[in-house]
Structure 1
Amino acid sequence: MSQLEFHSATEDTRQTWFVDVILPVPIPKMFTYRVPHELSDLVQIGCRVIVQFGSRKILTGVIGRMHQTPPEKYEAKYILEILDDEPVINKIQIGLFHWIADYYMCTLGEVLNIALPTGLKLSSESKVQLHPHFEYYESDLEFSDKEAIVLETLLKTNSLSYGEISKLLNLKSIYSIIKSLVYKETIIIFEEVKEKYKPKKENRIRLKPHWLGKNQLQKAFDELASKPKQEAILLHYLQHVPVFNEPELNQKGLIKSSFTSSDLSGSSLRTLIKHEIFEEFEVIVSRFDSYDNSLAEVNLTETQLKAKDEILTSFKEKDVTLLHGITGSGKTELYISLIQDALEGGSQILYLLPEIALTTQIVSRLRKIFGDKMGVYHSKFSDNERVEVWKGVLSGRYQFVVGVRSAIFLPFDNLGLIVVDEEHESSYKQYDPAPRYNARDVAMVMANQHHAKVLLGSATPSMESQYQAQQGKYGLVKLTTRFGEGQLPDFVVADMIRERNKKLSKGEFSSELVSSINQALENKEQVIIFQNRRGYSPYITCNECGWIPKCNSCAVSLTYHQYRKELRCHYCGYKEPLPSTCEACGATHLKTIGFGTEKLEEEISLLFPQARVQRMDLDTTRKKRSYDTIISDFEQGNIDILVGTQMVSKGLDFDNVNLVGIFDVDRMLHFPDFRSFERTFQLSTQVSGRAGRRNKKGKVVIQTRSIDQPILKQIIEHGYDKFYQNEIAERHAHHYPPFTRLIGVTVKNRDVKLASLTAIKLGNLIKEKLGTKRVLGPEEPIISKIRNEYLMELTIKLERSQVNLAKVKSILLETRLELMQEKELKTSKIIFDVDPY
């Protein structure tokens, strides 16, 4: 047998592997690729790979399955590269991704796109290079001046990006030039793929090993005796790195930036490196500060210890336990104690919080106890910081993570406990883009996969969680007293109709609220004012003709933001300067209508000029450290009155807050949503909980025009049980959750008639298949146009029992596919939202 024949026979005996790759595209399947033989030993489920998708796209995907079966309907392309030595996603996560895609009616690619931190995805940038067969100086082709500049530059450099060409030619649009050069076969376009994550590096200085002995060091000092600046560098190093006593410390060296003080010479340091007394080296360091790693104990009260025992007993029989603890009852200390126990048992822990606003205070408390064992994961972190936490969980550096809803996607492999704090919060629900998941509900599926336990905590549990506890599916533990000497606040309801009729109010402020704020300021106490609407004013209007500025892309009025002197749409981000005259009639008298947090801040500053006022809403907390700064200033007493949206209602704990004002409870009460009463009760109770901590009895002033609303009495009396009984009876009577499942359907189209036609046809098809009683709509939503797309909505109500949910979802997906075959409706988008509220 010849050498060539032997080589061919060897090739034939090698196994050919195929991998199914999850790609970040909204197509409902994985894609099969062939593994080159040289990469066969490297492929693992959960590793990232670079693949070609279509004719030109280069994508990062994740291996979801390995097998030896080639695809039947297409020839598999080869994977181009494997990016990881070890998986970045584990098999448990891939199972979770499949569940999320199935339950929330989206694709695996959409789940991966949300789950994987941006820093672990690859970016591809279009570049051009000279065609290998093109010879510029021998060509007979004619080129424009700009084409010639591009070609001559490419002769000197290997490639150019679109951005570099644009800058080179000083043109915004270069596509006609690129198109012409491609047509003449002078250049080719390719995609350069780049890894986004960059580890943080630190330059350090250390002695060359040759100088570590005492005799050698003495020799170095002798050589530097006439060079005081260089000698000062060596002395500085030895003061911080005592190599005489601990020579092993030299390996780590000293950070280079420590040599930059005014009495040390940078040029002298460079000379010492050049003469090989010192050497400079680079190390990868964490982006996060280091903390003491020693675990501290928390001292629980008798009430808390009893609650902890009840939780542990409940966990023996139930996988999920609901902790119903009133505001200020010390739920966080209880969580800490349970987390410590789980860590000592060798398990991982995930502590979910609904919003970043909560993480600032709680993280600082937890850091003192858990130190570097704890990671923090939320959207205000940079891409690189999020990747570091991801990799920290993979490596075992972080056994315990505090995070917002996206933390459920972290690569845990040994979860023992998941704590979902403020479990009732709507912030756990993702609305756009897909997957439209609820992190609280996904956490329970995660726990089931890991054989872990879930603790749901809230002062105002959601109807669903309380119902499951009442039915015995969840365990239920109650904390009914405030921690330490804390007392629940007193409530006063200010009747705004009476205040106005008797001319007692000052603008939008009741006399009760004004006098209470004055009293708090006199007592050197702090105040929180809650208004669940940001901006200066909901809208402006012309005093003459009633014209109201509207968004060009959405069916909403523009919100006035005085700080920036602009009108802004809170749905699409469109903004325009404040007009000086009415666009309809030309009148100059434009007035603001309603109160947002910005206007509230201004009015309070005018009413109480002696007070230091600060606002906390989406507009003032866009920057990374904004939350930290505002909360820190408030804690330190640098702010007297904090005005905010529901951010201020979250479990923040301030010792000196003794007054809370709830500014416009009616707007929440009368919002057209079956959850409006539930959310009003929750938000009002939560924000009221900020008043009166430790040994002070706080006060809450609620302003309303609906003084006879029964729910106000329930809020005042802290009557959650009474509220729950009334609300659950209403839900049962009108067939709403928890007695039914809801699937929301949204139809979008840039043409209003096509949006309506699609929705009507879709509604009719679904009614034929599921029955008329199960389908509500279609109808226009409150906001009927967003980002130039007209909206129509349907709601599907499904009984909890005797309905095959998977079958219903399959029918809905098939119906959408069926409808999209109709040529005139192809431009419509049909979006499903499972458990939409």
Structure 2
Amino acid sequence: MSSLLTYASEQPLVPGTLARVPLGRREVTGLVWDADFAALDAAASEPVPEGEERAPLVLRPVIEALDALPPLPADWRALVEFTARYYQRSLGEVALAVLPPELRKLDNTGLAKRIKKKRDHLIPEAAGEPAQRPSLTPEQAAAMDTLAAWAAAPAPPPTLLFGVTGSGKTEVYLRLAEQALAAGKQALVLVPEINLTPQLEQRFAARFPGRRLVSLHSALTPAQRLQHWLSAHLGEADLVLGTRLAVFASLPRLGLIVVDEEHDPSYKQQDGARYSARDLAVYRGHLARVPVLLGSATPSLETWSHAQTGRYKQVTLTERVGRGALPAVRLLDMATVPRPAPRSPPQALAPQLVDAIQKRVARGEQTLLFLNRRGFAPVLHCPACTWKSGCPHCSSFRVFHKGERILRCHHCGTQEPVPRACPDCGNLDIEPMGRGTERLEEQVAELLPGARVLRIDADTTRAKGTLESQLASVHAGDVDVLVGTQMVTKGHDFRRVTLVAAVNPDSALFAADFRAPERLFALLMQAGGRAGRDADIARGSEMWVQTYNPGHALFEALKKHDFAAFATTQLAERESAGLPPYSHLALLRAEAKTEDVAEAFLRAARDLAKSYPESADVMFYAPVPPSVAKVAGFERRQMLIECASRATLQRLLALFTPELPALKNAHRGIVRWAIDVDPLGI
């Protein structure tokens, strides 16, 4: 609570009230918090040296309270306070960062005008006929009965909805939201990425005409975000759909929280307060005593472990709706595929896969090719010398984007036109190395003349509305082969897709990050889940995996669609290695002008932490560079901190983290540092 400032007010202010206050020479918006009178009394009672007089306590006055807005409720403040404490950030930083930026710019008069204008222009939701409710499968009906019983408990337990792709998890979300709305409550539904929000929004809007639905995500304009946040906070919105930041939406009638695709890494914030929206959703449900449903076909191993040990409840859906079939998985050993002639471009697809795609095209079916790397090629190189398209500011390569004729670094954004010749030796025959989705699209068009090929990735969907129009083309059957990154592998209901192929998944098999196999298995399971969703054509659906490691245990589990077996193996490995969920981690990251300065800072932080008794049960690893050691001209280093006890680790972090700003000042050249609690990437 050291980040609290004290001001004087002529009128009592309710905790949770926004207020305009002076700060230095500026006037800023702050938030009235629950007063820490014990700290004030302690400061006032400190002994004064003999012969000196206590300086009078002079408080600067509050300029005005923004009482046009109802105070933020106690459970919201408790969530923010927990977030700040657990993720080692200041209270004010978290509290103000999760509020709409436009809100912090308004005085009371301006805020009152915004609220009045919003209500004057409030258009009633069309109260037409709701979309037809599909009949529940026996599994869905049993799941609903179980979930309803658990939701009626005084303190509903967090629940994992473990269902194969296409098993109707979204319909369960809709039915639970219907029950919450019928009870006069609000429902909060979280999705991992913005591109999943519009389609889910359409389904909820069709099911609940006459109910106000708002979305909260980073693609909104500042004005839209404020308007949607106000609708939620004032209780006007019945349904709130959003990405990770929406977990902090102020909801006075909260009755249900759903976290769709709960395993997705996008729920973890990667800068500022590095919080996990999934974990905070569980904690928020605990505070508000409302049910929290975590849905996934490939749960995170932490969630799966909690469900197996009874900490979370679990409901399972094993069958696809409408008699759809999971695709048969076929592993294609690329070591047995004939190599192309020397100097010819490497083959994107094996001949057997090309033949399988051609048969789908002839039958009017669709194929999805998954390659999780955008651009034309990750590297441009000169075969006559050692030149490669490295980034001058990062320890990575600039990616070749053929359509734009540029080299772009995906870490710092540096870009320049493609050189006409090698900058080192003048060779005119510089060549691309490797393959991205742009190159794959081009090669597929050459291999399948006449086929309608569409690429969907971050480069083709920058313009507003582009993604929606491209997905509409796929759903309408105007596309034969869809090439895409992970954007198209989850949440989409492609009814005509009968073949999915993972083009190059091997790179994640032997990564240093212990979570890499978990992420790869989830991606491949989700990608394969796009095939065979229509029962009329599902029986011949397939997933092909081009790999040089067909005997890998991950692929063996994938062939059987056996997540439980994969999770059991992975958890056993983690337990023997003392990795999460059997231990708890924090990363101390540092960026500096040189690697020596960054490493010296981390070593000094380790020595400082070891001076506390709590460090006796904590393991400190040596400072090491991350996978990309240099970004935007600054060297990056990280130090892993590990402990078997979460409580012990939290006590230690709370003790030495406040000392790190002074330590930074003592190490000139440190640009920034950050503590990442429960890091996803090691």
- TM-score in terms of structure 2 length: 0.90
| Pairing partner for 1:708 from 548, 551, 554 | 551
Residue of structure 1 equivalent to 2:253: 414
| 8 Å Cα contact 2:589-2:638 kept in structure 1 | yes
| 1:407 to partner: Cα distance | 0.7
Q: Is residue 682 of structure 1 aligned with residue 522 of structure 2?
A: yes
| 1:766 to partner: Cα distance | 3.4
1:391-410 matched pairs, under 5 angstroms: 391-410=230-249
Q: Relative to 1, partners in 2 of residues 1:583 and 1:199: Cα closer, same or farther, differing over 3 Å?
A: farther
Question: For 1:572, what is the secondary structure of its paired residue?
Answer: coil
| Pairing partner for 1:121 from 78, 101, 104 | 104
Name the CA distance, whole Å, in 1 between partners of 2:501 and 2:558: 14
Q: Is residue 103 of structure 1 aligned with residue 77 of structure 2?
A: no
Name the CA distance, whole Å, in 1 between partners of 2:676 and 2:653: 11
Name the CA distance, whole Å, in 2 between partners of 1:443 and 1:435: 15
Q: Which amino acid aligns with 1:309?
A: D
| 1:308 to partner: Cα distance | 1.5
Residue of structure 2 equivalent to 1:162: none
The C-alpha deviation readout for 1:79-99, integer Å capped at 9, x for no partner, is 333344123633321221111
1:278-427 matched pairs, under 5 angstroms: 284-286=120-122, 290-292=125-127, 295=130, 297-315=133-151, 316=153, 319-371=157-209, 372-427=211-266
| 1:28 to partner: Cα distance | 5.3
Name the one with the larger strand percent: 1
1:171-210 matched pairs, under 5 angstroms: none
Residue of structure 1 equivalent to 2:24: 54
| Pairing partner for 1:560 from 370, 384, 400 | 400
Residue of structure 1 equivalent to 2:305: 467
Residue of structure 2 equivalent to 1:648: 488
| 1:423 to partner: Cα distance | 0.8
Name the CA distance, whole Å, in 2 between partners of 1:747 and 1:197: 44
Name the CA distance, whole Å, in 1 between partners of 2:191 and 2:573: 29
Q: Relative to 1, partners in 2 of residues 1:198 and 1:619: Cα closer, same or farther, differing over 3 Å?
A: farther
| 1:585 to partner: Cα distance | 1.9
The C-alpha deviation readout for 1:6-64, integer Å capped at 9, x for no partner, is xxxxxxxxxxxxxxxxxxxxx950222222x4xx27x4433332222223x33222222
User: Which is higher, the Rg of structure 1 or of structure 2?
Assistant: 1
Residue of structure 1 equivalent to 2:453: 613
Alignment: residue pair count? 654
Residue of structure 1 equivalent to 2:652: 808
| Pairing partner for 1:78 from 61, 68, 76 | 61
The C-alpha deviation readout for 1:562-598, integer Å capped at 9, x for no partner, is 1211111111211111111222222222111111112
Q: Relative to 1, partners in 2 of residues 1:318 and 1:733: Cα closer, same or farther, differing over 3 Å?
A: farther
| 8 Å Cα contact 1:45-1:87 kept in structure 2 | no
Question: For 1:745, what is the secondary structure of its paired residue?
Answer: strand
Name the CA distance, whole Å, in 2 between partners of 1:495 and 1:789: 41
1:739-754 matched pairs, under 5 angstroms: 739-754=582-597
Question: For 1:777, what is the secondary structure of its paired residue?
Answer: coil
| 1:199 to partner: Cα distance | 8.0
Residue of structure 2 equivalent to 1:763: 606
Identify the range of structure 1 (494-503 vs 402-411) with the bigger mean alpha-carbon deviation. 494-503
Residue of structure 1 equivalent to 2:319: 481
Name the CA distance, whole Å, in 2 between partners of 1:591 and 1:505: 10
Q: Is residue 577 of structure 1 aligned with residue 403 of structure 2?
A: no
| 1:771 to partner: Cα distance | 4.5
Q: Relative to 1, partners in 2 of residues 1:396 and 1:810: Cα closer, same or farther, differing over 3 Å?
A: closer
Name the CA distance, whole Å, in 1 between partners of 2:139 and 2:247: 31
| 1:604 to partner: Cα distance | 1.6
1:445-524 matched pairs, under 5 angstroms: 445-501=283-339, 507-524=347-364
| 8 Å Cα contact 2:156-2:289 kept in structure 1 | no
Name the CA distance, whole Å, in 1 between partners of 2:111 and 2:136: 48
Q: Relative to 1, partners in 2 of residues 1:582 and 1:196: Cα closer, same or farther, differing over 3 Å?
A: farther
| 8 Å Cα contact 2:584-2:649 kept in structure 1 | no
| 1:478 to partner: Cα distance | 0.9
| 8 Å Cα contact 1:352-1:403 kept in structure 2 | yes
The C-alpha deviation readout for 1:470-508, integer Å capped at 9, x for no partner, is 111111111111111101111111111111359899712
Name the CA distance, whole Å, in 2 between partners of 1:505 and 1:747: 41
| Pairing partner for 1:668 from 480, 505, 508 | 508
RMSD: 2.8
1:211-226 matched pairs, under 5 angstroms: none
Q: Relative to 1, partners in 2 of residues 1:305 and 1:554: Cα closer, same or farther, differing over 3 Å?
A: same
Structure possessing the higher relative contact order (Cα contacts under 8 Å, 6 or more residues apart): 2
| 1:729 to partner: Cα distance | 0.5
Q: Is residue 719 of structure 1 aligned with residue 562 of structure 2?
A: yes
Taking every aligned residue pair, what percent have the same amino acid on both sides?
33
Name the CA distance, whole Å, in 2 between partners of 1:197 and 1:513: 61
Q: Which amino acid aligns with 1:827?
A: I
| 8 Å Cα contact 1:521-1:611 kept in structure 2 | yes
Name the CA distance, whole Å, in 2 between partners of 1:671 and 1:496: 20
Name the CA distance, whole Å, in 1 between partners of 2:543 and 2:629: 37
| 8 Å Cα contact 2:454-2:483 kept in structure 1 | yes
Residue of structure 2 equivalent to 1:795: 640
Name the CA distance, whole Å, in 2 between partners of 1:711 and 1:301: 31
The C-alpha deviation readout for 1:63-122, integer Å capped at 9, x for no partner, is 224699798697322233334412363332122111100000111232134311222221
Name the CA distance, whole Å, in 2 between partners of 1:826 and 1:772: 32
The C-alpha deviation readout for 1:672-722, integer Å capped at 9, x for no partner, is 210111111111000100001121232111111112111101001111111
| 8 Å Cα contact 1:44-1:86 kept in structure 2 | no
Residue of structure 1 equivalent to 2:369: 529
Q: Relative to 1, partners in 2 of residues 1:497 and 1:768: Cα closer, same or farther, differing over 3 Å?
A: farther
Identify the range of structure 1 (767-776 vs 343-352) with the bigger mean alpha-carbon deviation. 767-776
| 1:198 to partner: Cα distance | 6.4
| 8 Å Cα contact 2:594-2:669 kept in structure 1 | no
